[in-house]
Amino acid sequence: MDLAAAVALFDDAAARYGDAFHRLVADRLVGGVDGAVAPRVVLDAATGTGDAAFAVLRRFRPERIVAIDLSPRMVERAVAAAAEHDPDGRIEWRTGPAAPAPVADAAVDLVVCASSLHFLGMGALRDWRRVLRPGGRVAFSLPAAATFRPAPAFADLVHADIPIPDDEDAAAAIATAAGFTRARAERLVAGDDRPRTGFLVHATAP
């Protein structure tokens, strides 16, 4: 699928994106970041409607968050929500590909990517190593293989070089394979009748 078609697909999904599960993933992902040293500059890659950026803002109050998404309509929804959630204007909203990220080398303390790495591929993880300062942290989520059933159009966007993990070790290994250290993963299960499962991964830039 070419870039224009991918943009159109996510634009079409924007109106119904941002359900309780996506918000839970963003909140738990950010909540799992080591809080001993608060980040000053954060990149939220593939921000969607901004859930992870807002979660970072609530927890850490960084000086600056760069939040980028391929879909203009996703960003429009995030900007509208920012009137309530970011009255100080600390979040810079950008429209465009999440990788390569529109930030300088070694300029970021934390990269977050909620519910989107499988659409970005390993190249995104390698680019995040570029933008992170030594010792900076990355936090991303991935669906679990046992319950991952994307719609056909979205299935075409899943990168073949990101293996959808079936357990915590496999999820953490994705960060390690990209050169990150101290990778750890936890399973997230939400819902009763039709539970949705994913993995939250946290790691450190060398």
Q: Where are the domains of the chain?
A: 3-204
DSSP H helices in the chain = 3-13, 20-31, 51-60, 72-85, 117-120, 122-131, 152-155, 168-177
Percent of the chain, pLDDT > 70? 98
Residue 5 in 3-state DSSP? helix
Q: 95 pLDDT exceeds 80?
A: yes
CATH number, span 3-204: 3.40.50.150
Does residue 199 contact residue 185 with C-beta atoms inside 8 Å? yes
Query: Is the pLDDT reported for residue 53 higher than 80?
Result: yes
Q: What pLDDT band is residue 13 in, cutting at 50, 70 and 90? A: confident
* pLDDT over 80 (residue 105): yes
Q: What is the pLDDT of residues 114-156, one digit of tens each?
A: 999 999 999 999 999 999 999 999 999 999 999 899 888 889 8
34 or 8: which leads in pLDDT: 34
Mean pLDDT along residues 103-114: 98
